[in-house]
Amino acid sequence: MAQRLALQRLLSLPARGSLASHGRALGTSAGRRSTFNVQDGSDFQDRVVNSPKPVVVDFHAQWCGPCKILGPRLEKLVAKLEGKVLMAKVDIDDHTDLAIEYEVSAVPTVLAMKNGDVVDKFVGIKDEDQLEAFLKKLIGA
């Protein structure tokens, strides 16, 4: 338990490079660090629900075409915000319980979460302007 709290504090620090050693974040470049794949229910609890920073949750599926376009588009914009917002990716076939808990019917479904609450949501693909507005609202509000 203590390990997880320490890790959490570490994750919220803007320090670069230290995360690469934990092997959870994707890649080592600054841009990719703010995005991670959710491993399981407790990982979601730690890194999303209990996250001190707002988190954008991208529910996607292997078989979903639009998801493959939205994912990278969203990741790019989240990276530009340099750690102010994190992005969690959830494959709904791997984590069906989580998807059902958050009432995901169609994909992509993106939730904006702050302090464990869902404060915003959209379903389906969006263009860059719409995504920027979505993210701005999340960090602003």
Active site residues: 64, 67
Q: Is the peptide bond before 14 cis (omega within 30 degrees of 0)?
A: no
Residue 107 touches other proteins, criterion: CB under 8 A: yes
CB-wise, 29 or 62, nearer to other proteins?
62
**Which x/- pattern over 85-104 shows residues binding other proteins (rule: CB under 8 A)?**
-------xx--x---x----
Nearest to 80 by CA among 37, 39, 139: 139
Distance CA 47, CA 8 (A): 7
Q: How many residues bind other proteins (CB under 8 A)?
A: 11
Residue 18 touches other proteins, criterion: CB under 8 A: no
| Stretch of residues binding other proteins (CB under 8 A), selected from 23-31, 55-63, 74-82, 133-141 | 55-63
CA-angle at 85, arms to 94 and 76, nearest 5° = 75
Q: Give CA separation, 57 vs 1, 15, 86, in Å.
A: 24, 22, 9
**Which x/- pattern over 27-46 shows residues binding other proteins (rule: CB under 8 A)?**
--------------------
Listed in sequence order, the residues at least 6 apart from 45 whose beta carbon sits closer than 8 Å to its beta carbon are none
The residues of the shown chain that bind other proteins, judged by CB under 8 A, are: 61-65, 92-93, 96, 100, 105, 107
